[in-house]
Chains A and B, each alone.
Chain A
Amino acid sequence: MHFVIAFTLAIALMAADHYGQLMGSFRSLLLTTISPIERLATLPKQFYQLTTTDFTNIDALKLENQQLKTELLLVKAKQQQFSNLQLEVSRLESLLGTAGKINTQSLQIATVTYYSNNPLSQYLTLNKGQLKNVVEQQTVIDSKGIMGQIISTAPTYSRVLLITDPDHQIPIRIQRTGQRGILSGTGHETTQLEFIPKNSLVEVGDLLESSGLGGVFPAGYPVAVITQIENKNGNPYLDITATPVADLFQSHKVLILSQATPYLNFDEDLTESSDVK
């Protein structure tokens, strides 16, 4: 009898989670429950790193600090230019009377706390959650390109489904030709570009960027580079493999994008990000 109840409940849960997307808050509760266990699991690694890392001398730290301050200054200068350009584009757009607007996103810097890299699931865990207004479907990028999207949140942390996860798909366009397609994860640090017909002008080395279709991912961010094209007999589409441009498993600091506010908003103190690789 117990087995029949467990069996029925499990099937009902699977159906609700798969078709209805009704289980967001329940998953969030489970994520919060498992959070202390995940922290417990990272203790041995942290202890190992603490005991094996060489202590950096103070001169090297001063030098690094100086370099980071210089970089920050340059970035701020570029930011000002960017703001001016944005205003200029808005003026020109209003002159032309076009409806298109540049999408501006607010940003939050987050730290990667753990990651999973196995054929079943590829995800990152970030140290920002509901308390920092992180919500599902926000895009996560690093300095090179799109990494994935937020799929579940807990009060103090959130999970990012990587673009290489077998369940993940992202609408893209080939930057050189503008042709659209769907990029799916394979579970093995690569992605597969689907629905590109055999007569397409596609080459190894082509950059794939987000197309913005569907409204989940913002348009124009680099996603992957084509590394292999196979033309198999009997298949109307090309078999295309692409490698993500983002450092999915090396990045320590990442950015969470949201399209809510028109100005850049660095939520985390920049002094915290001195260990950016």
Chain B
Amino acid sequence: MSNKLFSLKTSQARWVILISYIIALALDTIALFGHSSPIIPPLTLFFLLYWCAHFLDRTHLFSAFILGLLADTLYQTTLGAHALLFSIITFLMIRHRLRFKGYPIWQQAFFISLYMMCYQLLNYLFFNPVLSSNDVVQYWTMPALSILLWPILAYSLGKVTNTANHD
């Protein structure tokens, strides 16, 4: 069981990963358009961290860089800024992913909230957004919301990956 868990190859689920990134970008776009709230976590980064922890044969830094560039285009920020943020967070995950993969889901969610806190901190340093009093609370609550979102995402993507592997 453990051998199977740690020997999954990225090539076995290449299309699933690609489609999941497209869906994540579309969800981020939906969250951005209109009167968006800073409490919603970046789902592209969520998906990226999941695949990074799930498939250990690649570093996923190329994906992080490209997704970061697309995020820069989406959020209309300086080109390379989100690419750098995504690469840093992915690098932190790479250093820790062997242990992370063995954790129970609630513990994974806790660590994901820490990564999201790092992301928010770096985001704040890079872009220095002007936040109203309401926005400040929502901005810093985002990592807490990530704790709730991670189990749902992990469960859904786990199901999809298992189906893809059986096929």
Q: Do A and B bind each other?
A: yes
Indicate whether A151 reaches chain B with its CB closer than 8 angstroms: yes
Instruction: Mark B94-110 against chain A: 1 for CB-CB distance below 8 A, else 0.
Output: 10000000000000000
Q: Chain A binding site: helix, strand, loop or mixed by DSSP?
A: helix
| Beta-carbon contacts under 8 Å, B16-47 to A | 22, 25-27, 29-30, 32-38
**B87 & A7 in contact (Cβ 8 Å cutoff):** yes
| Beta-carbon contacts under 8 Å, B99-143 to A | 127, 129-132, 135
> Smallest Cβ distance from B66 to chain A, in angstroms?
10
Category for how many chain A residues contact B? 35 or more
**B79 & A26 in contact (Cβ 8 Å cutoff):** yes
**B77 & A120 in contact (Cβ 8 Å cutoff):** yes
Indicate whether A18 reaches chain B with its CB closer than 8 angstroms: yes
**B84 & A2 in contact (Cβ 8 Å cutoff):** no
User: Within 8 Å CB of A120, what residues of B?
Assistant: 75, 77, 127, 129
**A3 & B87 in contact (Cβ 8 Å cutoff):** yes
Indicate whether A123 reaches chain B with its CB closer than 8 angstroms: yes
> Smallest Cβ distance from A28 to chain B, in angstroms?
10
Contacts known (A6-B87, A14-B79); A41 close to B70, Cβ less than 8 A: no
**B65 & A37 in contact (Cβ 8 Å cutoff):** no
CA distance A49 to B61 in the complex (A): 39
Instruction: Mark B60-90 against chain A: 1 for CB-CB distance below 8 A, else 0.
Output: 0110110011101111111111011001100
Contacts known (A116-B36, A120-B129); A10 close to B80, Cβ less than 8 A: yes
**B131 & A119 in contact (Cβ 8 Å cutoff):** yes
Q: Chain B binding site: helix, strand, loop or mixed by DSSP?
A: helix
Contacts known (A12-B80, A14-B81, A37-B25); A6 close to B32, Cβ less than 8 A: no
Contacts known (A7-B84, A10-B80, A117-B36); A34 close to B65, Cβ less than 8 A: no
Q: Give the contacting residue for B130; candidates A12, A23, A45, A166; CB below 8 A.
A: A166
**B61 & A6 in contact (Cβ 8 Å cutoff):** yes
User: Within 8 Å CB of A123, what residues of B?
Assistant: 76
Q: Give the contacting residue for B36; candidates A40, A44, A118, A165; CB below 8 A.
A: A118
CB-CB nearest in chain B for A29: B73
> Smallest Cβ distance from A263 to chain B, in angstroms?
33
**B131 & A40 in contact (Cβ 8 Å cutoff):** no
**A3 & B32 in contact (Cβ 8 Å cutoff):** no
Indicate whether B59 reaches chain A with its CB closer than 8 angstroms: yes
- State the total of A-B contacts with C-beta under 8 angstroms: 120
Indicate whether A170 reaches chain B with its CB closer than 8 angstroms: no
**A188 & B132 in contact (Cβ 8 Å cutoff):** yes
User: Within 8 Å CB of B79, what residues of A?
Assistant: 13-14, 16-17, 23, 26-27, 30
User: Within 8 Å CB of A186, what residues of B?
Assistant: 130
> Smallest Cβ distance from B141 to chain A, in angstroms?
15
CA distance A166 to B132 in the complex (A): 13
> Smallest Cβ distance from A131 to chain B, in angstroms?
19
Indicate whether A187 reaches chain B with its CB closer than 8 angstroms: yes
> Smallest Cβ distance from B34 to chain A, in angstroms?
7
> Smallest Cβ distance from B13 to chain A, in angstroms?
20
> Smallest Cβ distance from A22 to chain B, in angstroms?
10
Q: Give the contacting residue for B33; candidates A7, A18, A114; CB below 8 A.
A: A114
Q: List 13 A-B contacts (CB under 8 A).
A: A6-B83, A9-B80, A11-B84, A13-B69, A14-B79, A17-B78, A18-B78, A40-B22, A41-B33, A116-B75, A120-B129, A123-B76, A187-B129
Q: Measuring CB to CB, which residues of chain A are less than 8 angstroms from any residue of chain B?
A: 2-3, 6-7, 9-14, 16-18, 23, 26-27, 30-31, 33-34, 37-38, 40-42, 44-45, 114-121, 123, 151-152, 159, 161, 165-166, 186-188
Q: Measuring CB to CB, which residues of chain B are less than 8 angstroms from any residue of chain A?
A: 22, 25-27, 29-30, 32-38, 59, 61-62, 64-65, 68-70, 72-81, 83-84, 87-88, 91, 94, 127, 129-132, 135
Closest 6 CB pairs of A and B: A13-B80, A41-B29, A10-B84, A14-B80, A17-B79, A30-B73
